[in-house]
Amino acid sequence: MAEAARTAYDFSAPLLDGRTLSLAEFKGRVLLIVNTASQCGFTPQYAGLEELFREYKDRGLEVLGFPCNQFGAQEPGSAEEIGAFCEKNYGVSFPVFAKIDVNGDQAHPLYRFLKGEKGGIFGTEAIKWNFTKFLVDRDGKVVERYGPSTEPKALADAIEELLASRA
């Protein structure tokens, strides 16, 4: 499917509770898509992601979390454990999906698409670590890719700019 996809809205994925959510439900909204982990040095970024979501959701931002256990086995928990961790520790209210792979043969089609649209440093496609962020405009096009060390609050200006378009 990744080869035929033209926008991020062309994908769907299961949520932590097992229900499949089509990203088409977010058409016309700006997306911040992040691969997450509960036992990572970057895990406190959940707080910043939640802050962005609460600040901008009424203007059209959606934050989408995709837990991944491919980096140092830092997301070993079950769906229930991940959900409880996110809610208890960071008050996460944005959608968190079921655990996926972001690299390799089993990489989720959404991540194949995202990586193909915006390569990383030196043009590499592979996700290097947890909390890599993709910013997607209201048309479902990937605008930018940010590395794990980029704090969520550093994306505020770019998010504001995208939200202002066709607001």
Query: Is 40 in the active site?
Result: yes
DSSP state of 75: -
Measured on CA atoms in the order 151, 35, 64, 108, is the torsion positive or negative?
A: positive
Crossing angle (nearest 10°) for helices 45-56 and 79-90: 70
Token pair belonging to 141: 């096009």
Question: Per the residue annotation, which of 13, 23, 37, 40 is the catalytic one?
Answer: 40
Cα 118 from Cα 123, distance rounded (Å): 8
| Residues noted as catalytic | 40
